[in-house]
């Protein structure tokens, strides 16, 4: 199975340490978390992105997906604040340009959120318009976007597969697919078959992580059924990449490689 190397939990270590670990653990593709100090999208130049690509390629790695930080940072494509929404869209447009320089085929997006006391449909429309604009710009550059549902504490717009399918249908962009995140899926009370029933082959990227059911935990630190997930993904014909999006309580960042090794071993037991 195609498990990417990812710099989630490496934010307190040099980028080169992450690349060395990814190569040492036999990874061939990467999902890059766009966060300082590794890759701060608003500040990164084309030359810096090309340098990252060369660093990866020198270790036998290629960037598959760029995931700009968009929950903790002031990024919200559905914001009712005009300047914040405009700057958020501009950030993703820039991220699409960086995907070209990195050689990344995927750009990961999230739907943002509206104010809790405004009509949901107003924020929904802002999100649809913004994601549609970003996808159109990325498509002109040859980049595919994937949209990830968020937990309810993170977004009041897209929290499950059915709502995600509705948004993708409304946008109607041929280069816009879906992300299946096992923690987001579990907190919404869904399973892998629910995602493929709603989205079919539009599922183009997977975040494969444990939780209780939330938490973004390493496998074995939560309670989610890894074996059931892998069986269902195989049965539904999923052949794309999967990423361990590890955060936990922050302690993984002290020494992330053993945590990634433990996750890889957990997956191997079901392979």
Give the single-character DSSP code of 218. Answer: P
Query: What is the pLDDT, as a whole number, of residue 59?
Result: 98
Residue 149 clears pLDDT 80, i.e. is over it:
yes
pLDDT tens string 228-241: 999 999 999 999 99
Phi, psi of 142 (to 5 degrees): 85, 20
pTM, rounded to two decimals = 0.97
Which candidate, 221, 244, 183, places its Cα nearest to that of 21? Answer: 244
Q: What is the pLDDT of residue 249?
A: 87
Task: Please write the tens of the pLDDT for every residue from 107-117.
Answer: 999 999 999 99
Residue 73 has pLDDT above 90, yes or no: no
Whole-number Å distance between alpha carbons of 119 and 122: 6
Number of domains in the chain: 1
- Answer yes or no: are the C-beta atoms of 23 and 61 closer than 8 Å: yes
Q: Which single residue is written with the structure tokens 């995602």?
A: 195
Closest CA to 6 of 202, 266, 259: 259
Q: Are 129 and 172 in contact (CB under 8 A)?
A: no
Give the model's confidence band at 216: pLDDT under 50 very low, under 70 low, under 90 confident, else very high. Answer: very high
How far is the C-alpha of 10 from the C-alpha of 247, rounded, in Å?
Answer: 10
Provide the residue range defining the domain that includes 157.
5-268
For residue 59, the domain's CATH number is 3.20.20.150
- Angle, helix 192-199 to helix 161-171, in steps of 10 degrees: 20
Long-range Cβ pairs for the range 190-197 (8 Å, 24+):
190/160, 190/161, 191/228, 191/232, 192/228, 192/229, 192/232, 192/233, 192/236, 193/232, 193/236, 194/160, 194/161, 195/161, 196/232, 196/236, 196/238, 197/161
pLDDT at 74: 87
Stretch 145-162: mean pLDDT = 97
Average pLDDT over residues 25-46: 96
Average pLDDT on 89-111 reads 98
Q: Can you name the residues that pair with 146 across neighbouring β-strands?
A: 108, 177
Q: What are phi and psi of 247, to 5 degrees?
A: -130, -55
What 3-state class would DSSP assign to 91?
helix
Structure tokens at 140: 């002109």
Beta-carbon contacts of residue 141 (< 8 Å; ≥ 6 apart)? 96, 97, 99, 100
């Amino acid at each position: 199975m195609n498990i990417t190397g990812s710099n989630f939990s490496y934010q307190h270590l040099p980028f080169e340490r992450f690349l060395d670990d990814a190569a040492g653990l036999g990874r061939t593709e990467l999902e890059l978390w766009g966060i300082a100090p590794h890759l701060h999208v608003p500040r990164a130049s084309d030359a810096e992105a090309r340098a990252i690509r060369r660093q990866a390629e020198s270790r036998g790695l290629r960037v598959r997906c760029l995931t700009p930080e968009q929950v903790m940072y002031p990024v919200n494509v559905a914001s009712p604040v005009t300047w914040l929404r405009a700057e958020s869209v501009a950030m993703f447009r820039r991220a699409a340009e960086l995907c070209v320089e990195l050689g990344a085929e995927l750009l990961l997006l999230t739907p943002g959120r509206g104010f809790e006391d405004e009509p949901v449909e107003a924020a929904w429309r802002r999100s649809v318009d913004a994601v549609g604009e970003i996808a159109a710009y990325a498509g002109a550059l040859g980049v595919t976007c994937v949209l990830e549902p968020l937990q309810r504490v993170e977004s009041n717009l897209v929290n499950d597969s059915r709502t995600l399918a509705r948004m993708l249908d409304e946008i109607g962009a041929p280069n816009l697919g879906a992300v299946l995140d096992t923690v987001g899926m579990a907190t919404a009370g869904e399973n892998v078959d629910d995602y493929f029933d709603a989205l079919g082959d539009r599922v183009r990227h997977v975040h494969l992580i444990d939780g209780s059911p939330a938490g973004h935990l390493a496998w074995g630190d939560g309670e989610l059924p890894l074996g059931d997930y892998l069986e269902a993904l195989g049965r539904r014909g999923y052949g794309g990449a999967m990423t361990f999006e590890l955060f936990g309580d922050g302690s993984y960042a002290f020494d992330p490689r053993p945590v990634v090794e433990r996750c890889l071993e957990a997956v191997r037991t079901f392979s």
